[in-house]
Chains A and B, each alone.
Chain A
Amino acid sequence: MTERSPRASDTNAMYVYAVCRTEDRLPLDGVPGVSRDAPVRPLSFGALTAIVQTVRAAEFTDEAWQDRLADEPELERYARAHHEVVSAVAAHAPTVPLPLATLYHGEDSARLALTKESARFHTALKRIARHAEWGVKVYAAHVPQKRESSPAEEPNAPAAPPRPAPGAGRAYLDRKRNLQARREQRQEDSLRVAEAVDADMNRIATASRRLRTHGPAAAGDDRRTQVLNATYLVAEHRAAELALLAQTLRERTGAQIELSGPWVPYSFVGEV
């Protein structure tokens, strides 16, 4: 990378994926990253190694990202490419991931900025050493909304609607009130299960975070409602314990509990 060219299309930028502490060769062959123009490669700074890729600056401007983020298949491609690089490195050495779209002018600016933050990387690497992130999701079973049909509600004879019997209005209101009460009960029950699961998981975890719950489309099933989306930093030697706990909780609560992991500890490298 030489002097900055006045023409944007000729300018390169440096994409940074992650930082790790290793002297070894990293298994980066066959991991394409976000661009086909140059390979994903290590860049050492001090005692640390950043995983970087030279990309065409014009393809990574904020306008380019705006378009990309609005296009779900594109966003998915970039998110998965980023995640793939981070995961490949993490399979080899403890790794601190950087968020999608961390970019610098070039190698020198990247090295300068990363070096300035060395202390934070060391702290994060220490925190996540021999730990992995595990996602735990709890779903409340969906109760089908049974339409309680009553003659008064069936508009099968619009020309001559049936005359409501005396007290029909009160019965209708009672029914609606019951429905509401049951809904509130279900809501309380689900949230109580979610809190119980979180509390139990926290007994095994070193740290935890609550993430926003996913809607039916993201969860891939609209017959259930996600009531907990949490993530835990768990020591390597306690991973089996976590899986066992998840099973015990499934049996005890009857709730659907999904465990995902091990993840690179994305959620635990920033300011926890």
Chain B
Amino acid sequence: MTDLDFRQGGYPAAGPQTTNLADILERVLDKGIVIAGDIKIDLLDIELLTIRLRLFVASVDTAKKAGIDWWETDPALSSHAARNALEDENRELRARLDALEAKSEDMSTSEK
């Protein structure tokens, strides 16, 4: 093999040319065939299962860091975020009520 011609035509699944990291990560981190056998063989006394589990946990964190967490913050699509929005509104309303009450108290004392 002297050249780098991979000839994309032979089989279909060559992978898109431009791929964003999130697309690749979600596939290479926890997709693909996981062999049951590999967890029985330890590498330098470290169970490979441990590596895989930590890999998975870390991948979730990484995904979050990469911004794959919109459901937690977008009120348009998350009930949790919508609840936050409601809480914010409640807080805002309470503050306005306090201000109004304070003002009406002021007025009633000054009218006396």
Contact = CB atoms under 8 A, between A and B. Distances in A.
Interface residues of B, number: 71
Interface in A63-105: 65-66, 69-70, 72, 75-76, 79-80, 82-83, 86-88, 90-105
Nearest to B48: A103
Contacts of B33: 19, 96-99, 117, 120-121, 124, 269-270
A262 interface: yes
B43 A98 contact: no
Interface in B42-61: 43-44, 46, 48, 50-52, 54-55, 58-59, 61
Given A57-B43, A72-B66, A225-B76, A66 B11 contact: no
A97 B14 contact: no
Given A82-B28, A262-B12, A101 B58 contact: no
Nearest to A93: B11
Nearest to B78: A187
Candidate in B20, B26, B46, B89 with the most chain A CB atoms within 10 angstroms = B26
Given A83-B28, A99-B29, A217 B66 contact: yes
B16 A261 contact: yes
A11 interface: yes
B37 A262 contact: no
